[in-house]
Amino acid sequence: MVAVHSASSCLAALPGTFFIPVFAEPAHFSVLEMGLFAACILLSGGLFFWRFGPILRTILQAKKDQDFSLHPLGRRMWEFFWEVLCQAKVIEQRPAPGIAHAFVFWGFLAFALVSLNHFAAGLRLGFLPPESLVGKFYFDFAAVWAVLVAVSITSLFVRRFFIRPIWLGKKLSYESGFISFLIFLLMVTYLGAFFAAEGSPAIKALWWTHTLALLVFLPLIPHTKHLHLVLSPLTVFLKRDGFSKIPPLAGDEDFGLVAGKDVTQLIALQAYSCVECGRCTEHCPAATTGKVLNPKEIILGMRGYLNEFGAASDSLLLVETAANGASGSHLSMEAAFQCTTCGSCEFQCPVGIQHLPIIVGLRRGATNTGAWEDTYGTKLFLALEKNGNALGLSASERDKFIAKQGIPIFDGTQEYCLWLGCMGGYDPKGREIIADFARVMDFLGTTFGVLKKEKCTGDPARRLGNDLVFQTLAEHGLKALETAKVQKIVAICPHCVRTISNDWREYGIAPEIEHHSEFMARHKDRLPKQSDGGDIVYHDPCYLGRYRDVYEQPREIVELAGALVEAPRSHERSFCCGAGGGLAFLGEEHGERVSHVRAKELADTGAQRVGTACPFCNTMFRDALTAVTPDGKAPPQLLDIAQLTARNLPPILPN
């Protein structure tokens, strides 16, 4: 809305014609009115910076991110355009409320020029006269957006205060309700100017109401979730390159997120950007099965800590149990170690918050300083150090399996090094997957071999925050691959693929590695197809899907063995099996088991077989499928995609 002199009337009407609303505005502002307006602007702006200043100082005073780089700039610009300007993630993951939010956002962009002109006009400096051709077009254009914004903000208000999805939280934010009212008032007062007489008391009242709504809204932003209006575009643009990228430690004195002084600028920026939409909570396997962990509360807990202690504090970030409202109890140790690192939270977040580096950073701080004491965790780390595998078995057990299966040792002449991993080398069912995949490779005529000595990639140590053990294993693996002159690796475990291709980069560059689903999909035309293999429901592993963006290749392999059936939650929204983040080795979980929830979803599809593409998922579903199947009924058969494929191969003829 603006305030420049105009001779146009608010309604253009002739006898026998339709009324055509025309934007109207105050005809004149007195010196006193301009002075009062300027004073209101200064007061509103002053209150905003008074409240925003401490937040900005906290972010700037935080430790610099050692590995941060603006490159690749092109990718950052594209993600800013796609996620911020286009609101793509907001709409894609929650279409109905997402489009309503997008309309509000786009409406604010459309109103930017109107609002600038509004403030300028109140000081007799208006630059967009409504009677001009450009002015008439733009004010009419903004009116369309005003209607969309008014309807959208009303629907969002009803959703938050009446429908009240549990993911938004139990506590109602009356500040959010008031801000919704202010946004609605801004739109109504703007539209009202199309139906009031120019120069009338009504138009002056509408103008001042619109002005005061804007000026009251501004200082409310810093201490509400609407701070994301200011910070989230920066958060999206500046977030770390790559999904769930764990930053390297900065020297020997860096143990992870121990205290406030360890919080980096990116973490602080992300903590203050949370919009509290609850998308991370809705898709978190821990939160949805009654665990203490709630990824939203991890971010808000970080914000609460920074507000209380600042970014230079020596106060510990993690306490054993977080008591809401108690001083220094913003983040709990128990919650941090319930994360499966499935990545749903980070994938879902519409404002660029990267939860996993923060959670793993908290685990690092607790593990590397000895603050985390867990019997199973200690046993796991000792097994990795002593035996080189997470199951704690002797390396001779792996040697026996290799000899029994007749798998060749990699000697530098074969095309592929087949990486067994802990599950493929030591777990009985994992060994079956390896044996069947080896059959597939033989059928395709691909030469391969396994390393004579192979240790764990360090994935569970990495996710649980033990950097010393992880470094030792990573350096050993890199050296073994270099010594064997390996050029290409294929593995059945997505965790191994992720760790070797991404996490090992801190210590060196490993040879090219791919998952066996990618390998088989490339050769699908040479693999046999079963005409009537029955229904097969495929489970997307987190570390293959969200981490590696591999969704279609395993489905192509499943379709060779039967009719593909999709689970209720699939692709990017796939529900975790519960094994990631080292949790497969930390004993029984509290409350409802994540694996049972997912297994029931898979079994309820009615498919005769469940297809997996990760040995950890396979492990978690073995007992879970039996547990969720009613008595007297056989559970669906559980098979890896390599096993589904191998069952279609011609039988091996005896010598």
Query: What confidence score (pLDDT) does residue 12 get?
Result: 46
Of 22-26, 338-342, 428-432, 456-460, give the lowest mean pLDDT range.
22-26
List the one residue out of 337, 319, 349 whose CA is nearest residue 167. 349
What is the spatial distance between Cα 145 and Cα 25, in angstroms, rounded to a whole number? 19
pLDDT tens column, 224-282: 999 999 999 999 999 999 999 999 998 889 999 999 999 999 999 999 999 999 999 99
- Give 36's contacts (C-beta < 8 A, 6+ positions apart): none
pLDDT tens column, 588-645: 888 899 999 999 999 999 999 999 999 999 999 999 999 999 988 999 999 999 999 9
Query: What confidence score (pLDDT) does residue 342 get?
Result: 98
pLDDT above 90: residue 19: no
Query: What confidence score (pLDDT) does residue 14 get?
Result: 46
What is the spatial distance between Cα 647 and Cα 625, in angstroms, rounded to a whole number? 21
Structure tokens at 231: 């910070």
Query: What confidence score (pLDDT) does residue 327 get?
Result: 54
CA distances to 175, 306, 440 from 172, rounded to whole Å, are 9, 23, 57
pLDDT tens column, 198-231: 778 999 999 999 999 999 999 999 989 999 999 9
Averaged pLDDT for residues 426-451: 98
Averaged pLDDT for residues 323-339: 80
Averaged pLDDT for residues 365-388: 97
Statement: the pTM of the whole predicted model exceeds 0.85? yes
Strands (E), 314-466: 318-319, 331-332, 416-419, 448-449
pLDDT tens column, 480-539: 999 999 999 999 999 999 999 999 999 999 999 999 999 999 999 999 998 788 999 999
Query: What confidence score (pLDDT) does residue 2 get?
Result: 40
Average pLDDT, the chain: 93
CA distances to 47, 122, 136, 214, 343 from 36, rounded to whole Å, are 16, 10, 28, 15, 52
pLDDT > 90 in the chain, percent: 85
More confident: 324 or 82:
82
Q: How far is CA 378 from the centre of its chain?
A: 29
Averaged pLDDT for residues 56-80: 94
pLDDT above 60: residue 322: no
Query: What confidence score (pLDDT) does residue 26 get?
Result: 84
